[in-house]
Amino acid sequence: MEFGVGSVLEGKVTGITKFGAFVSLPENKSGLVHISEIAYSYVNDVKDFLKEGQEVKVKVIGIDENGRINLSIKKAMDPPPRPAGQGRPAGGMGGRAPRPNNGARSGSQGGFRRQAPAEPTTFEDRLKQFMQASDSKLSELHYVDKRSGSRRGGRK
């Protein structure tokens, strides 16, 4: 039985280390399941999830130039469903409640408030949105800093 990247196999845990677990595979081969590839949840200690001699289903995720086989237990199974109401809050507010819109926003001129853009779908979109929000906040801070500096009688 020849196997390669993407193959799903049955194996037996033969050794546990602080960074992962070694698994014996068919054809007298063995591979390593890195600690990050054991479960979809955070793994602090491999022994909390695996025991020596345990049968596991693994997926081959890589074979390096030296023939070492990288395995994943979590990729060999379906990801757990996300419970409704958990995960990132709507609007990307990081757990903060949205402020009420009373027509004018304190500190802004003219009372104009932009409508929040639709939730970004890709990492690049999220990064772009974060960078725009960060730049906006920094420019507000610089504006407030310059205004408060002139009140003290000196310019910065």
Pairing of strands 8-17, 55-63: antiparallel
pTM for the full predicted model: 0.52
Please enumerate in sequence order all residues whose Cβ is within 8 A of that of 146, keeping only pairs 6 or more positions apart, or say none: 156
Architecture label for domain 8-76: Beta Barrel (2.40)
Instruction: Tell me the β-bridge partners of 134.
Output: none
Instruction: Count Cβ atoms within 10 A of the Cβ of residue 126 and give its class: 0-12 exposed, 13-18 middle, 19 or more buried.
Output: middle
Residues 18, 45: Cα–Cα separation, whole Å: 7
Q: Is the pLDDT at 138 greater than 80, yes or no?
A: no
Q: Which amino acid, 98?
A: P
Question: How would DSSP label each residue in 18-85?
Answer: TTEEEEEETTTEEEEEEGGGS-SS--S-GGGT--TT-EEEEEEEEE-TT--EEEESGGGSPPPPPPTT
Pairing of strands 55-63, 29-34: unpaired
Residue-wise pLDDT tens digits, 81-128: 877 765 555 555 555 555 555 544 444 445 555 555 556 578 877 888
Structure tokens at 2: 């020849």
More confidently predicted of 125 and 17: 17
Among residues 36, 96, 32, 18, the alpha carbon closest in space to that of 67 is found at 32
Residue-wise pLDDT tens digits, 44-83: 999 999 999 999 999 999 998 888 999 999 999 888 887 7
